[in-house]
């Protein structure tokens, strides 16, 4: 994938007007859905019933980011709820290979996420096995944080590892992505950009998506 993708994170949407906010960003490539369980991260967001509900009203691809312990227990429920991609944290699974296979067997695309404090090499074994490697560029749990500069080198190392293996795994980044840094993050190797605040806190979220695309690709 040479193209770039934008995935607005509904964590930054107004939950009182959730479908209105989702409809506003249907020009984006994915809808990023942050699930938090209050165990793996110090926050609780929403879960399966919310995904089931919004599934009825949009055809967007659902990129479900599970920030939960024991993801094995819930992947089937998240698949049945309408996720298109299921991404779990490498830190949370005792057998990531088996979980990736299970996600595939459910007919879904698989992703693996990595916490900023986890050595990036930890995800190298899954290059070519997952569709997406999601590099957390903030501490998971909350939107609106600043991009961690240590991410630059981590992204470059992962980019090199993927290119060396001639794999087509997509590098996604999550956290602190904005118009003024997206081109730089692209140059470090990312191709799919999760963006919460910079999209939903903008006056015109659809236009914010277009602006992020323009800034990333300078097109």
141 binds ligand DX5 (CB under 6 A): yes
Return the residue of 174, 202, 209, 212 that touches Zn ion, per CB under 5 A.
174
Find the distance separating the first CA and the last CA of the chain, reported in whole Å: 16
Which of 21, 29, 34, 37 is flagged as catalytic? 34
**Count of residues that interact with ligand DX5, criterion CB under 6 A:** 21
Contact stretch for ligand DX5 (CB under 6 A) within 55-63, 103-111, 173-181, 182-190: 173-181
Would you say the C-alpha torsion 72, 74, 76, 82 has a positive or negative sign? negative
Q: How many CB atoms lie within 10 A of CB 91?
A: 16
Q: How many CB atoms lie within 10 A of CB 127?
A: 19
Active site residue 174: yes
Would you say the C-alpha torsion 163, 9, 38, 81 has a positive or negative sign? negative
Site string for ligand DX5, 78-117 (x = CB under 6 A): ----------------------------------------
Q: State the residue number with the nearest CB to ligand DX5.
A: 196
Q: Which is nearer to Zn ion, 35 or 161 (CB)?
A: 35
Report the distance separating Cα 104 and Cα 94, nearest Å.
18
Contact stretch for ligand DX5 (CB under 6 A) within 69-77, 84-92, 119-127, 188-196: 188-196
The residue among 137, 130, 88, 144 whose CA lies nearest residue 113 is 88
Catalytic residues: 34, 174
């Amino acid at each position: 994938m040479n193209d770039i993708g934008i995935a607005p994170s509904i964590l930054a949407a107004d939950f009182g007007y959730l479908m209105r906010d989702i409809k506003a960003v249907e020009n984006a490539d994915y809808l990023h859905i942050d699930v938090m369980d209050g165990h793996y991260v110090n926050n609780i967001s929403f879960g399966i019933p919310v995904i089931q509900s919004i599934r009825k009203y949009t055809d967007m691809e659902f990129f479900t980011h599970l920030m939960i312990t024991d993801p094995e227990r819930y992947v089937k429920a998240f698949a049945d709820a309408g996720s298109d991609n299921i991404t779990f944290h490498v830190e949370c699974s005792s057998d990531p290979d088996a979980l990736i296979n299970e996600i595939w067997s459910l007919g879904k695309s698989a992703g693996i996420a990595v916490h900023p404090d986890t050595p990036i090499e930890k995800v190298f074994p899954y290059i070519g096995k997952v569709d997406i490697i999601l590099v957390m560029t903030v501490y998971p749990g909350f939107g609106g944080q600043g991009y961690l500069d240590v991410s630059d080198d981590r992204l470059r190392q992962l980019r090199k590892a993927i290119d060396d293996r001639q794999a087509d795994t997509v590098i996604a980044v999550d956290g602190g992505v904005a118009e003024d840094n997206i081109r730089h993050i692209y140059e470090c190797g990312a191709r799919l950009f999760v963006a919460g605040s910079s999209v939903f806190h903008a006056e015109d979220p659809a236009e914010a998506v277009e602006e992020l695309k323009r800034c990333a690709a300078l097109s």
